[in-house]
Chain A
Amino acid sequence: MIQPPHQNIDKDWFLEHHIMMHRIRAFEETAARANQDKLVLGAIHLSIGQEAIASGVCKNLMKEDFLLSTHRGHGHTLAKGADPEAMMLELLGRRGGICKGKGGSMHIADASVGMLGANGVVAANINIATGAAHAIKLKRETNISCCIFGDGAINRGPFLEGLNWSGVFNLPVLFVCENNGFASTTRTDAMTSGEGAAARARSMGITATEVDGNDIVSVDEITREYIAKIRNGNGPHLISFNTYRLHGHTASDPASYRPAAEVEAAWKEDPIERCSKLLSRLGISREILNEHRKIALAEMEGVYKTAKEAPWPNEDNAFSDVQDLGDPREGAF
């Protein structure tokens, strides 16, 4: 695992990371509460404990870069620049939701900032992100495509097909594996033969790096380095970030299938707290750092309030955006 030297740390840059990580966490804590309040319906998947990957990767992407994400995609979407209010409205299925109330948590997206969608199908985003990179190459553009997926996704076919494709066509795509130890309620390593994402990538001629995904500095530095290479035409790269899913698979999963001591130990590696410690070592006061959490909680509380008070979407939305031709009600009623 690579540990960069962490020299010349730009305090302001990491203060921004600290703020973003707190915003992601506050958004998800609020969404989890809304789920308990039965206002966020269906399943939601929290990325609590994995915020350094979202912030570290997305801060190094440009707005024009594409991002394809997973069912656990709130953090990625926020970090790519989406508006939390439009996201929360979507999670509650209300008017003004970013997908007009048609997608919910698992299809959260904001094309205006290059975020082309979370996905309800594990690993499906790998081929899509690869294809977006293919389009970039055909159009001779300079942006890149980034695909974030879980450690469980590497056991599906698109991981092989998409990575091979990206190598064959030398595409500008960054693959990011969030190696959080679990795929739903199963330990990923129990169902994975061999050495995991990075080793598999290398076997296909794709360079790969394994990094501590809870250390924001490592995430930021490694991502920046490889994004620059990809932008220069070096072709695809995979980064596997080791992390831990601090909550259950869904917000309602108590995750009793793992020992409490293991979770307790994992909380000691909380990426936000690690970032706070780093920043206070660099001279930022604890008051300022604590303020980040308060501000984030207040922001998301406001967003939740707005969403709760918002009306349902216009019912005609059920029939729009299907396709240009044909009457979707034909033969139905």
Chain B
Amino acid sequence: MVKMTYAEAAKLALAEEMRRDPLVWAIGEDLGRGGVFGQYLGLLDEFGPERISDAPISESAIMGASVGAAMAGTRPVVEMRFADFALCAVDELINQAAKARYMLGGQVKVPMVIREPIGMWRSSAAQHSQSLESWYTHIPGLVVAVPSTPADNRGLLKTAIRSDDPVVYLEHKNIWGYEGDVPEDETLIPFGKGRLEKEGNDITIVSWSAQMHIAANAATLLQAEGISAELIDLRTLWPWDRQMVFDSVEKTGRLLITHESVSVGGFGAEIAATVAEQLFSVLKSPITRCAAPRVPISYAPPLEDKIRVSSEQIVEAARKSITVSAGFK
């Protein structure tokens, strides 16, 4: 194992894949100087400006040209800078990248990775903080990855680059500097396989991305109270590891889902509905969601904090889930 940050792990993955396959290249604004978060630092020196390419501030062309470049046999890694700016390229992603393979009856594939940094970070307000992962899960044709640790960021990004389908790859800005152990050998992490962050028996908590760390803290706090939470990090939302969630809920009988993005229409709703459809009879209490209120993200820290889901709120919700169970069954 090697210690590295979430950003370094992604950089390592990209460099490894670019060394392995000359058709892999990265394109985005300011990549030459290392990307806005330094996640490309040093790559220009090794791979040159054609493969670590700057782009004009033309989000629709960054996305759309990458669709064409992917159809024409290369594997672009597209840097959108902030997930919020990818909204300038919605047609290119949703109508073109995601659907070309289907519309053309399988005549083409669109192997591209769309890196979109998400999440609340340093008081960035409503246009630099969003987490829109649930949108993308709604679109047939897209893979949606939401890594939370350095090891996962390396392993999932490598899998994403080798994927023949477009992968929306959502890295969380607030954990670029988060350090963790990364395996020495190149471990590819398959899509659709969750990671058991912590074992437990009383309640299943499902989360992803940076929120997973907040949930992990909540699980520790719960343990101190004698509540044993099992924590699953889904890692990818399409496909998602239904089996891991089912197995856990069968054991615990309780489910809490927490994500940083808005609760309404969020992916937590999809998980809750699926578990309710499949495992209603094993549930000991109603499924709970801890996610953001439906307001734009604020600027001032105390206002921003009102939108964050804290560990304490998760603890509170988990306690409630455990105590209401008697009335539920």
Contact = CB atoms under 8 A, between A and B. Distances in A.
Interface of A: 66, 68, 97-103, 107, 109-112, 116-117, 119-121, 124, 126-136, 138-139, 145, 157-158, 160-162, 164-165, 168, 317, 320-328, 330-331
A157 B66 CA distance: 16
B270 A131 contact: no
Contacts of A161: 56, 58, 60-61, 64
B102 interface: yes
Contacts of A330: 242
Given A131-B69, A134-B65, A138-B69, A322 B101 contact: yes
B288 to A, nearest CB: 20
A331 B267 CA distance: 13
Given A111-B107, A165-B56, A322 B102 contact: yes
Contacts of B147: none
Nearest to B66: A131
Given A323-B142, A331-B273, A134 B68 contact: yes
B140 A328 contact: yes
A165 B239 CA distance: 34
B136 interface: no
B240 to A, nearest CB: 8
B143 A325 contact: yes
Contacts of A131: 64-72, 76
A164 B76 CA distance: 19
B21 interface: no
Contacts of B58: 160-161, 164-165
A158 B143 contact: no
Given A128-B64, A128-B71, A322-B141, A99 B105 contact: yes
B104 interface: yes
Contacts of B165: 323-325
28 contacts: A98-B105, A99-B104, A100-B106, A107-B104, A109-B107, A119-B96, A121-B95, A124-B91, A124-B92, A124-B96, A127-B63, A128-B65, A128-B96, A130-B64, A134-B65, A139-B74, A145-B72, A157-B60, A158-B61, A317-B105, A321-B102, A321-B106, A322-B140, A323-B142, A323-B143, A325-B238, A327-B239, A331-B277
A71 to B, nearest CB: 13
A324 B167 CA distance: 11
A109 B104 contact: yes
Given A323-B165, A326-B238, A328-B140, A111 B67 contact: no
A317 B102 CA distance: 10
List of 7 A-B pairs having minimum Cβ-Cβ separation, nearest first: A127-B64, A131-B68, A131-B65, A100-B105, A135-B72, A99-B105, A161-B61
A267 B101 CA distance: 39
A160 B88 CA distance: 14
Nearest to A136: B72
Given A121-B96, A132-B71, A324-B164, A107 B103 contact: yes
B108 A117 contact: yes
A270 B91 CA distance: 36
Contacts of B101: 321-323
A135 B72 CA distance: 6
Contacts of A102: 102-105
A104 B28 CA distance: 34
Interface residues of B, number: 51
A106 to B, nearest CB: 9
B73 interface: yes
A17 to B, nearest CB: 27
Given A127-B60, A134-B74, A321-B106, 7 more contacts: A98-B105, A138-B50, A145-B72, A317-B105, A323-B141, A324-B165, A325-B191
Contacts of A157: 60
Nearest to A104: B103
Interface centre among B100, B164, B242 (most CB of A within 10 A): B100
Nearest to B190: A325
A162 B106 contact: no
B234 to A, nearest CB: 13
B176 interface: no
A100 B102 CA distance: 9
Given A131-B64, A134-B65, A168-B56, A326 B239 contact: yes
B148 to A, nearest CB: 20
A82 to B, nearest CB: 11
Given A102-B103, A103-B103, A324-B164, A139 B73 contact: yes
B201 to A, nearest CB: 28
A132 B70 CA distance: 8
Contacts of B208: none
A321 B61 CA distance: 25
A132 B108 CA distance: 12
Interface string B43-86: 00000001100011010110111111111111010000000000
A133 B238 CA distance: 31
A111 B91 contact: no
Interface centre among A101, A110, A317, A324 (most CB of B within 10 A): A324
A165 B95 contact: no
Nearest to B76: A131
B169 to A, nearest CB: 14
A102 to B, nearest CB: 5
A331 B274 contact: yes
A130 B65 contact: yes
Given A110-B107, A139-B74, A325 B61 contact: no
